[in-house]
Amino acid sequence: MFDTVITQGDVVTPNGVEALDIAIRDGKIAALLARGTEVEATETIDAAGKMILPGAVDIHFHCRAPAYPERGDFATETRAAAAGGVTTIFEMPISKPCCATGDVFRMRKSLAERDAYVNYGLYAAPGLLDPAEIEDMVSEGAIGFKIFMTEAPAGRDDEFEGLCLPDVPDLYQALKLVAQTGLVCAVHAENNPLLRWHTDQLKAAGRNDVASHNESRPPHVEALAIATLLTLNETIGANLHIAHLSAAEPLAVFRRFKRTGSTASAETCPHYLFFTEADLERVGPYAKINPPLRQASDQVALWEGLADGSLMAITTDHSPFTVEEKERARTDIWRTPPGAPGVEELVLGVMDAALKGRLSVPQAVKLISTNGARRFGIYPQKGAILAGSDADLVIFDPAATTTIHEDMLFSQAKACDKLYQGMTFQGKIAQTILNGKPIFKDGALIGAAGDGQFVRPDPARVSKEF
């Protein structure tokens, strides 16, 4: 007797797309059966004409808890994740105070345990350079570490204390400490002195228009930071991961290091794949993101990087803010924080690209689910449809379409989701299943706060094969 059987679907497994039925018991995939196998189950889900995907694993996600509930929190933003077919999020350590100590880590973990609608891992910040605090956060189950190579934004020092390491000696020390843990360290790679110089030049010229944001952070700011980071790591050997790689120039630098043996990995984001700096003119400050949106030629390079395996994941950098905060930039781009929501469009956007032939469906699943789980040491518990894996699944209808409009979204920051407004994707999230339980179905959220479970990595499973 099984709890649930999903029948008649096209199941995306590590072997490809297969005609299988999925039997679920106690929150796990108990068996993969030949289509039509007769079994007993409490519930049967007919998935005829639909694809069954492993739930997406969003390895770069912000929810803002607990200090800014007006922006979003673990409840509001994981509801959005559920609606988007994302069943596991890795929450970044920007909080107030920053998640750089064991005590803050435990506080955030308890918040997520109470509020999360999907499974969650929590990053830690190593920048206090305190081995005891780092070990404490590792013992608590940190999914990995996060470092910014830039200084803290003005007025937000407490949110970034222990996270920002603009000085190379501090960065070097942090990498050595993180390397000892065996966990992955994700890095926001932009060169701080060069970024500051470009920004100062623009401000001195009286520039505060929307376009000046992009001009303050040209691709060489990102490329130089990656070169510095990976040069340091040649003798340290930390498990480095480049966050939100955005352009051809930093991708070329990353590839050069990979050719000489670097084990670093890198991600990009849907906003770099689907939008360009021209969209700043269309939606203004709602498209202010760091690194910024780039040119069409950079888009082409990123798609090539995904095709050849240089980029191992597509992840959202989901960043909720308020309309009021974003609207400040109408008259002064420097006054608004960077970031945009996007977790509800991750699966839709990447699967749309797959259905239109830009990549294969199995490739799409690897990029939004499997590879992130493997890199961070939670595979095959997450990121795969295999017997014994957690039953985190998406029932996806490739024949339907989805047009994004504000009243269908669940993020607290849905009014800021201007980039995707009005876009139509091929495909629809028909149902999201978390640990064997349906949590989103036919446009309605049916899960509850606390359904999400804490995800703890296994350093021995952290993959270096990217």
CATH of residue 36's domain is 2.30.40.10
Please tell me the total count of domains within the chain. Answer: 2
d(CA 450, CA 90): 16
Q: What pLDDT sits at residue 267?
A: 99
User: Are 252 and 200 members of one domain?
Assistant: yes
User: Are 43 and 65 members of one domain?
Assistant: no
* Averaged pLDDT for residues 419-437: 98
User: Are 41 and 68 members of one domain?
Assistant: no
Q: What pLDDT sits at residue 80?
A: 98
Question: At residue 459, what is the residue type?
Answer: P
* Averaged pLDDT for residues 211-240: 97
* Averaged pLDDT for residues 105-134: 98
Q: What pLDDT sits at residue 390?
A: 98
User: Are 6 and 88 members of one domain?
Assistant: no
User: Are 338 and 194 members of one domain?
Assistant: yes
**Is 464 domain-assigned?**
no
**Is 462 domain-assigned?**
no
- Among 139, 23, 27, residue whose Cα is nearest residue 87: 27
- Among 143, 138, 163, residue whose Cα is nearest residue 375: 143
Q: Which residue range forms the structural domain that includes residue 399?
A: 2-52+387-404+422-445
- Among 81, 253, 236, 223, residue whose Cα is nearest residue 173: 236
Question: At residue 332, what is the residue type?
Answer: D
**Is 461 domain-assigned?**
no
d(CA 398, CA 348): 10
**Is 345 domain-assigned?**
yes
Q: What confidence tens digit (pLDDT) does each residue in 267-302 have?
A: 999 999 999 999 998 999 999 999 999 999 999 999
CB atoms within 10 A of CB 427: 23
* Averaged pLDDT for residues 157-176: 96
With a CB cutoff of 8 Å and minimum separation 6, the contacts of 438 are 431, 432, 446, 447
Q: Which CATH number is 151's domain given?
A: 3.20.20.140
* Averaged pLDDT for residues 257-271: 98
Q: What pLDDT sits at residue 288?
A: 96
pLDDT at 329 over 90: no
Q: What pLDDT sits at residue 410?
A: 98
User: Are 258 and 183 members of one domain?
Assistant: yes
Longest CA span, the chain: 73
Q: What pLDDT sits at residue 155?
A: 85
* Averaged pLDDT for residues 183-210: 97
What is the dihedral sign for C-alpha 236, 241, 246, 252?
positive
User: Are 12 and 134 members of one domain?
Assistant: no
Q: What confidence tens digit (pLDDT) does each residue in 37-84 have?
A: 999 999 999 999 999 999 999 999 999 889 899 999 999 999 999 999
Average confidence score pLDDT of the chain: 97
pLDDT at 421 over 90: yes
* Averaged pLDDT for residues 243-263: 98
Question: pLDDT tier at 34 (50, 70, 90 boundaries)?
Answer: very high
Side by side, the strands of the sheet bearing 119-124 are 56-61, 86-91, 119-124, 144-148, 184-188, 239-242, 265-268, 313-314
With a CB cutoff of 8 Å and minimum separation 6, the contacts of 266 are 241, 242, 245, 251, 254, 305, 310, 311, 312
**Is 466 domain-assigned?**
no
CB atoms within 10 A of CB 39: 14
Q: What pLDDT sits at residue 67?
A: 87
Q: What pLDDT sits at residue 154?
A: 85
Question: At residue 193, what is the residue type?
Answer: P
**Is 414 domain-assigned?**
no
CA distances from 289 to 149, 211, 261 (A): 16, 12, 31
User: Are 15 and 144 members of one domain?
Assistant: no
- 274-278 — which CB contacts under 8 Å span 24+ positions? 274/349, 274/419, 275/419, 277/211, 277/214
Question: pLDDT tier at 203 (50, 70, 90 boundaries)?
Answer: very high
d(CA 26, CA 391): 9
Q: Which two tokens stand for residue 155?
A: 């007025």
User: Are 240 and 358 members of one domain?
Assistant: yes
**Is 450 domain-assigned?**
no
Q: What confidence tens digit (pLDDT) does each residue in 388-402 have?
A: 999 999 999 999 999
**Is 160 domain-assigned?**
yes
Question: pLDDT tier at 353 (50, 70, 90 boundaries)?
Answer: very high
User: Are 31 and 62 members of one domain?
Assistant: no
User: Are 156 and 39 members of one domain?
Assistant: no
User: Are 32 and 138 members of one domain?
Assistant: no
